[in-house]
């Protein structure tokens, strides 16, 4: 896929929105020295082009009682389209799975999981993950500290 050509205004808009998507159009336009109508048109165009995927509120998991953040590598016994879709159908319906990636190396998935505590995480692994027939191995890394946490893409 060919990358889109962005001018300086587009890049400034995207940088600011990555930091604070709640900013008003009037404030955004003022910060980049552009007319509000032109700024709004650019934001709509960036969204239409798919550069802005969605606008969300990022919640504080700790304040909501989720003290465990883990990255879990899951390997499957059988690797084919049906087996992969079956695994994903079971695994992804659980709201504790925040992200799931298919990665290279032995038919593996890497998932980002939250849990209230270790007991809650244990229940997730035993009752949700390993109960899926095709799961052959689960390897967990518990996050001890977050040194950088951003979704901002460099422009």
Distance CA(64)–CA(66), nearest Å, equals 6
101 is a domain residue: yes
Of 101, 126, 102, residue with least CA distance to 115: 126
| CATH code assigned at 20 | 1.10.10.10
Q: Are residues 73 and 137 in the same domain?
A: yes
Structural domains of the chain, count: 2
| CATH code assigned at 113 | 3.30.70.920
Q: Are residues 72 and 44 in the same domain?
A: no
Q: Are residues 39 and 104 in the same domain?
A: no
- Which domain does 88 fall in, by range? 68-142
* pTM of the model as a whole: 0.85
**Confidence bin at 105 (pLDDT 50/70/90):** confident
Q: What per-residue confidence (pLDDT) applies to 2? A: 57
Q: What per-residue confidence (pLDDT) applies to 49? A: 94
């Amino acid at each position: 896929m060919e990358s889109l050509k962005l001018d300086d205004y587009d890049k400034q808009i995207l940088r600011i929105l990555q930091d604070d998507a709640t900013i008003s159009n009037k404030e955004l336009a003022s910060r980049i020295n552009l007319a509000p109508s032109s700024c709004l048109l650019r934001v709509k165009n960036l969204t239409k082009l798919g550069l802005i995927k969605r606008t969300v509120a990022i919640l504080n998991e700790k304040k909501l009682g989720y003290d465990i953040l883990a990255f879990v590598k899951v390997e499957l016994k059988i690797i084919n389209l049906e087996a992969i879709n079956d695994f994903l159908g079971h695994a992804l319906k659980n709201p504790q799975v925040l992200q799931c990636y298919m990665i290279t190396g032995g038919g593996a998935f890497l998932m980002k999981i939250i849990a209230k505590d270790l007991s809650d995480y244990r229940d997730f692994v035993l009752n949700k993950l390993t109960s899926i027939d095709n799961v052959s191995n689960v390897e967990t890394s518990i996050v001890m500290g977050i040194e950088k946490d951003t979704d901002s893409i460099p422009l």
